[in-house]
Amino acid sequence: MTAEVFTPTVAVTMTPSAVKHVRKQLDKKPDAKGIRLAIKKSGCSGFKYETHWVEEAASDDKVFHIDGVDVYVKEEHLPLVNGIEIDFVTEGVNSMFQFRNPNATAECGCGESFTVA
C-alpha cells in the first residue's frame, strides 16, 4: 500500500489594475523586489491587511509571481489569505487596494478589519 502525499495549493491573485499600480510604484523604488501582503491583529473584527514594499525576502516568505509582480506572504498568514484577490480601485478622489478574501466570514462596518472562521 502506498500513501499519496497531498500538498494544498495556496492562491493569491491580482487584478490587472493592481498589477499595473504595483509595477508603476516598483519602477519608482529600485531597491524594492515586490510587495508584501501582511495580516495584523487589529480592529473590531480581528484582523486587518497591510501592504509594504519588500527589499529582502524573509526565510518564512512564500512568493507569488503574478504577471511580473512578486507578492510576499509570511507562511503563518497563508491560511488567512488563501484565495484572496487583490484589486486597486479608485472611488472619487481616493485610490486604494481592495481585498476580496473568500475566507473572510465578517467585516466591520468601516471595512478596516475582518474575521476568518
Q: Which parts of the chain are beta strand (E)? A: 12-14, 34-42, 46-54, 61-66, 69-74, 84-91, 94-100, 104-107, 114-116
C-alpha 73: how far from chain center? 7
As a whole number of angstroms, the distance between CA 109 and CA 18 comes to 24
As a whole number of angstroms, the distance between CA 8 and CA 20 comes to 29
pLDDT digits (tens, 9 = 90+) for 72-90: 999 999 988 999 999 999 9
pLDDT digits (tens, 9 = 90+) for 48-58: 889 999 999 99
State the pLDDT at residue 115. 77
Class of domain 13-116: mainly beta
pTM of the prediction? 0.85
